[in-house]
Amino acid sequence: MILNIIIRCLVPVIMIFSIPFLEKSSAQNIINNAHSHNDYLNKRPLFSALENNFKSIEVDIFLLKSDLYVGHNWLQLRKNNTIEKLYLDPLWKLFNENKGFIYQNNIPLYLLVDIKTTAGATHDILKVVLKKYKPMLTRVVSDSLIRGSVTIILSGNKPGLEDFKDKIDRFVFLDGRFSNINKNISNILMPIISIDWSDHFRWNGVGIMPKNEMIVLNNLVRKIHQEKKQLRFWASPDNKNSWSVLENAGVDLINTDKINEFSNYKIQN
């Protein structure tokens, strides 16, 4: 009798403390349009973006001998700062600890790998490196897309389209350019189009975007979405005003160097 009374009293208390944990563990609000530009320059590369549920992370790589180092230029390269140590190994650890997930519901994280050295040689080494993480990666097998927890998208000095024509099996994808629009390039090969902001716009994120530039922005979004691809601008203005304009226009990945500010902006909006 006494035991039953104690249990009845404890159940509401247990429920109160359980609810926040359940909500936190079962509902991750991925910021689908958040792209961490030059992520490795943050105080906590990778983890700041993951903790803020960023959809996409950008990392620059340089081939030196047989290793792929992370940095913005040659002077920033450090002995242990390889793509494996800073990104792939920690992601692999999370993948295994979370029973095959980085984000819940198998929402893939984009890892945009910007190649700064020679395309062919760097890609050849990267292919060897990525084989170790194959179960974690989105890949194509005989023209069928197998979605993984991490999608590797090559940018910068990436291999040309002709290098992928005869590739039946692969686990990398390409970041396209403005010149690739209306070329009937498969989304299974090129899911994203990235464009230099200054090629089309002068607006710097202050005040109202000029009407003629807004028309250009809307047309770019429309064209790329018609191909069922995603749009990203690099070197776009990086403030709340510009984030709002880009988001309202339907830009899929918004470049930012301000992880916490962007995350707070999304929470408030």
Question: Does the pLDDT at position 117 exceed 90?
Answer: yes
Question: Nearest to residue 175, comparing CAs of 62, 35, 50?
Answer: 35
Taking the C-alpha atoms of residue 124 and residue 266, their distance in angstroms, rounded to an integer, is: 38
Angle of the 211-226 helix axis to the 240-249 helix axis, nearest 10: 50
Taking the C-alpha atoms of residue 252 and residue 233, their distance in angstroms, rounded to an integer, is: 9
Taking the C-alpha atoms of residue 134 and residue 117, their distance in angstroms, rounded to an integer, is: 24
CA geometry: angle at 48 spanning 46 and 52, to 5°?
Answer: 115
Give 27 or 196, the one with higher predicted confidence: 196
* Phi, psi (rounded to 5 degrees) for 133: -115, 15
Q: How confident is the model at residue 142 (pLDDT cuts 50, 70, 90)?
A: confident
Strand 169-170 and strand 139-141: the pairing is antiparallel
CATH number of 28-268: 3.20.20.190
Q: How confident is the model at residue 23 (pLDDT cuts 50, 70, 90)?
A: very low
Q: How confident is the model at residue 15 (pLDDT cuts 50, 70, 90)?
A: very low
Taking the C-alpha atoms of residue 268 and residue 188, their distance in angstroms, rounded to an integer, is: 35
- Report pTM: 0.88
Question: Nearest to residue 49, comparing CAs of 241, 195, 255, 190?
Answer: 255
